[in-house]
Amino acid sequence: MNRSLAERSASRARPDASWQVMMQAAIREVFQLMVGTDIQPADPPPESPSGGVSAMVGMAGALCGVLRLRCSEQTAVSIATKMLGGHEPGALSDTCDAIGEISNMVAGNFKAKIAGLCDACMLSVPTVVVGVDYDVYSLASPERVEVSMTYEGQPLWVGLEISS
Amino acid sequence: MKGIRVLIVDDSAVMRKIVERCLRQAGIDVKEVIEAANGVEGLAAVQQGPMDLILSDINMPAMDGLEFLQGLRGLDNAKNTPVVMITTEGSESRVVEALSAGARGYIRKPFTPDQVKERVSPLLDGAR
């Protein structure tokens, strides 16, 4: 018998040191399969996230929070072009669509790797923000899992802010 | 099965293109692809004419993949059409729900052309 999401989410998932490794693995798998590119953890990691395209996916259930992927517009266009089989996206909306899908797959792939999270956590439809000069404020004091990657020499960040 | 007519339902236009490309790379003889951005558009497309195969996302605005499956049940056009769900969630309960509602298989994102072939080809063999 299927248990409801409320029942399954009764025990909250707590991040530990393995989550960063799981996140890196989730990102690399998505890029290998859907973009055809092997991306690596940044070494050394850049100081702070920046870039003009940010995709966000909400997570609710045993883990409540927001996964955010951020990169430059140039990187986003490159990713979208590869996803479209080498055809450059015709409009910014196509680029946002591609980055939104990538963030959605990273979130899904990540939660599938965490024991007890796959069935107990739902994802929202992605939201993509275009622009550089913005700040994100959370009403909770979130725990964070942050990963910096290098995509074809360019930085790409993925952060998971966990609010409960 | 030669020259099939496929309906791809996904709110992401990029993902619809990827699914189409994977079908072709998997060696499936696709004659025509009809795209829909959600379940409402998907049902309207099926009402216009029968499909040989339907691939549908689960998480979509307006009408999600599970509601779309329920809607297909009421259409004579879709009675024998295999439906394969494409999901990011990986949630077993959602997959079970989809299979109970009539889906013949599922593919988890991210996926490869080989995985698409593995799930889709058996559904097309001997379908005509």
Q: Is B127 on the interface with A (CB under 8 A)?
A: no
Q: In this model, does residue A40 exceed pLDDT 50?
A: yes
Nearest-CB residue to B91 (from A85, A119, A125): A119
Residues of chain A contacting residue B61, judged by C-beta atoms under 8 Å apart: 125
Query: How many domains does chain B contain in total?
Result: 1
pLDDT at A1: 40
Average the pLDDT over B53-57 and give the result.
96
Helices (H) and strands (E) in chain A, counts: 4, 7
Q: In this model, does residue A157 exceed pLDDT 50?
A: yes
State which H helix or E strand residue A27 sits in: helix A18-30
Average the pLDDT over A38-54 and give the result.
85
Give me the residue label for tokens 């439906």. B83
Q: Any idea what the CATH number is for the domain that residue B29 is in?
A: 3.40.50.2300
Q: How far is CA A50 from CA A97, A131, B82, in A?
A: 19, 10, 45
Q: What is the pLDDT of residues A72-102, one digit of tens each?
A: 999 999 999 999 989 999 899 999 999 999 9
Give me the residue label for tokens 């004579």. B76
List chain A domain ranges: 16-162
pLDDT at A164: 67
User: % helix / strand / coil in chain B, to the nearest 5?
Assistant: 45, 20, 35
pLDDT at A11: 66
pLDDT at A94: 94
DSSP-derived letter for residue B78 is: G
Nearest-CB residue to A94 (from B14, B21, B87): B14
Average the pLDDT over A107-126 and give the result.
88
Structure tokens, B46: 């099926």
What confidence tier does A7 reach under pLDDT thresholds 50, 70, 90? low
Domain range for B69: 4-124
Structure tokens, A89: 């996206």
Q: In this model, does residue A20 exceed pLDDT 80?
A: yes
- CATH tag, A16-162: 3.40.1550.10
Average the pLDDT over A57-69 and give the result.
92
Mean pLDDT (chain B, rounded): 90
What confidence tier does B128 reach under pLDDT thresholds 50, 70, 90? very low
pLDDT at B91: 72
Residues of chain B contacting residue A118, judged by C-beta atoms under 8 Å apart: 89-92
> Which residues, listed in sequence order, are joined to residue B33 by a DSSP beta bridge?
B6
Average the pLDDT over B66-72 and give the result.
92
- A8 versus A63: which is more confidently predicted? A63
pLDDT at A30: 97
Q: Is B91 on the interface with A (CB under 8 A)?
A: yes
What confidence tier does A10 reach under pLDDT thresholds 50, 70, 90? low
Residues of chain B contacting residue A111, judged by C-beta atoms under 8 Å apart: 90
**Which of the residue ranges A13-17, A104-108, A160-164 has the most confident prediction, judged by mean pLDDT?**
A104-108
Q: What is the pLDDT of residues B77-120, one digit of tens each?
A: 898 899 999 988 767 777 888 888 889 999 999 998 889 999 99
CB within 8 Å: A109 and B13: no
